[in-house]
Chains A and B, each alone.
Chain A
């Protein structure tokens, strides 16, 4: 029995258990329902708007973009909060105290975050199918595109969440270092309105980060080919999407383990204790 493979297998079990616990948790159920209701109400209110130069309605275009935005948001903020909290409550230290526990722990995180995309997509897609016509216009080919965009988007963004969670000084700082940048990116990445309406520099910035590319990838999956006319260069830029997301994935695969290991090395009981005391001290 190879101990590393064994640890990964144990971690898969961990991810599955965490996923099941999350499905049963009223807190997580509430989060799914809240995002679902928010997105659907927003789209429903704008259901009669037609996108300029096309016959497509606003929800048809925005829904795939929003799924992309949701993916990036969950995969960055989710692990960032989780890791920051686990540093304070001793979960990471627990993983460190068992042989090859960190390998299993990270495996569990990756699986949990991947699986969690299923309910968060379904709570939007299923009611969306009833509320809006012609959501998916490319049939099976479109769903295949969804799969690769989601997987590549996952590899590109999850490491960012891990890095933020490892570097932030405490849970309270995830807002500043995780939430704020993500919300800014959400605003400039063509999720809610076409990117061409923005200043030139904002367009450049947003095309550096995965959010824009996951969004356009999702639109290319759901919308007819003619709708590419609304994009920059009137193209889905599929090759560029794969390249940018791939580059982030490769960079993440190199950087995240280093940052994570460095952070884990500093974990000790007294550090957990100190973090807790600091967390309780809201006023400084």
Chain B
């Protein structure tokens, strides 16, 4: 994918399997939205091969469109409509695409309850708060009971409470509806909570791919051991923390404040984001280089 002469995405290669929840994680400007827009079929890539639900999204037909749900970063349309009216209207488009195993559209009342906007269902959409509006956007994204759902920064601007409720919705969708979900976020914590698998995007490339546990294990080859002795502080980095501590305790019997800490995924991620934001996306991309399996 290129803008003018700059390749903004280069070597983004990944597979998402049915029923998986995959997070595209990366700092702002890493290419997350571009990637997701290419997959949604809203943007034509300058090169590369893409297959989403068996079709090239740029040339896919309306039957393909019926199987995909899209929640974009921000929407402020249909200000005069009510959530119930809008969901009923948009749901109607999906009626011809209903199948016995995937009845379309979703029942509007059930959906309103699922995203928790029962009390606002008859209000004008422009009177909804940011969080309520976002939940409506999610409801619109899943009204057609999609097999694959794209969520672009779904929790941007959420308070912690709304964020937790949103995470519940995502879990329910993937558990109950067997929906495959691809979402973007720049928040590692969110990625860890939601995703079966995390793809980290930096400098237009995928620099890490794995479950939160796998990624954590990859970055934590070394541990920091801290202790004090005679009021003096010591720090030592070692790949074999247990062996080191055993030796340490064997040699001295006046060790205090012993602390063994692994470099966390968060440490590595934040280091990468910092490099990205200080204008070194290429170096940022290499932050995860050494930790690839």
A→B interface (CB under 8 Å):
1-3, 6-7, 10, 13-14, 17, 21, 25, 86, 89-91, 93-94, 96-101, 104, 267-270, 272-273, 276
The smallest beta-carbon distance between A20 and chain B, in angstroms, is 10
Give the distance in Å from the alpha carbon of A21 to the alpha carbon of B80 in the complex: 7
- Whether B65 pairs with A99 at a CB distance below 8 angstroms is yes
Q: What is the total of A-B residue contacts with beta carbons within 8 Å?
A: 90
Which 3 A-B pairs have CB atoms at the shortest separation, nearest pair first? Answer: A91-B77, A99-B66, A268-B42
Q: Which residues of A contact B63 (CB under 8 A)?
A: 99
Checking B74, B80, B92 against A273 with a beta-carbon cut-off of 8 angstroms, the contacting residue is B74
Q: Which residues of A contact B34 (CB under 8 A)?
A: 270
Give the residue name and chain of the B residue nearest to A9 (CB): B92
Checking B40, B77, B97 against A90 with a beta-carbon cut-off of 8 angstroms, the contacting residue is B77
Q: Which residues of B contact A91 (CB under 8 A)?
A: 77-78
CB of B166 closer than 8 Å to a CB of A = no
Q: Which residues of B contact A90 (CB under 8 A)?
A: 72, 74-77
- Whether B76 pairs with A10 at a CB distance below 8 angstroms is no
Give the distance in Å from the alpha carbon of A254 to the alpha carbon of B264 in the complex: 61
- Whether B37 pairs with A99 at a CB distance below 8 angstroms is no
Q: Which residues of A contact B45 (CB under 8 A)?
A: none
Q: Which residues of A contact B97 (CB under 8 A)?
A: 3, 99
- Whether A100 pairs with B93 at a CB distance below 8 angstroms is yes
Give the residue name and chain of the B residue nearest to A269 (CB): B72
Q: Which residues of B contact A86 (CB under 8 A)?
A: 77
Checking A1, A10, A268, A276 against B37 with a beta-carbon cut-off of 8 angstroms, the contacting residue is A268
Checking B42, B81, B94 against A96 with a beta-carbon cut-off of 8 angstroms, the contacting residue is B42
The smallest beta-carbon distance between A87 and chain B, in angstroms, is 10
Q: Which residues of A contact B72 (CB under 8 A)?
A: 90, 93, 269, 272
Contact status of A99 and B93, CB under 8 A, knowing A17-B81, A25-B80, A94-B140: yes
- Whether B93 pairs with A104 at a CB distance below 8 angstroms is yes
Other contacts beyond A21-B81, A90-B77, A94-B90: 6, CB < 8 A: A1-B96, A90-B72, A93-B42, A268-B42, A269-B33, A269-B37
- Whether A3 pairs with B96 at a CB distance below 8 angstroms is yes
Contact status of A10 and B92, CB under 8 A, knowing A90-B72, A94-B75: yes
CB of B152 closer than 8 Å to a CB of A = yes
Q: Which residues of B contact A93 (CB under 8 A)?
A: 42, 72, 75, 77
Contact status of A17 and B37, CB under 8 A, knowing A89-B77, A94-B78, A97-B65: no
Give the residue name and chain of the A residue nearest to B97 (CB): A99
Contact status of A17 and B89, CB under 8 A, knowing A94-B75, A97-B65, A272-B72: yes
Checking B42, B65, B66, B93 against A10 with a beta-carbon cut-off of 8 angstroms, the contacting residue is B93
Give the distance in Å from the alpha carbon of A230 to the alpha carbon of B47 in the complex: 65
Q: Could you write out 13 A-B pairs with CB less than 8 Å apart?
A: A1-B95, A6-B93, A10-B89, A21-B81, A89-B77, A93-B75, A94-B75, A94-B77, A97-B65, A99-B94, A100-B65, A268-B42, A270-B34
Give the residue name and chain of the A residue nearest to B73 (CB): A269
- Whether B95 pairs with A6 at a CB distance below 8 angstroms is yes
- Whether A98 pairs with B77 at a CB distance below 8 angstroms is no
Give the distance in Å from the alpha carbon of A269 to the alpha carbon of B77 in the complex: 13
Give the distance in Å from the alpha carbon of A269 to the alpha carbon of B71 in the complex: 10
CB of B85 closer than 8 Å to a CB of A = yes
CB of B70 closer than 8 Å to a CB of A = yes
- Whether A98 pairs with B65 at a CB distance below 8 angstroms is yes
Give the distance in Å from the alpha carbon of A2 to the alpha carbon of B97 in the complex: 10
CB of B43 closer than 8 Å to a CB of A = yes
For chain B, residues 139 to 182, give those with C-beta under 8 angstroms from any C-beta of chain A.
140, 144, 152
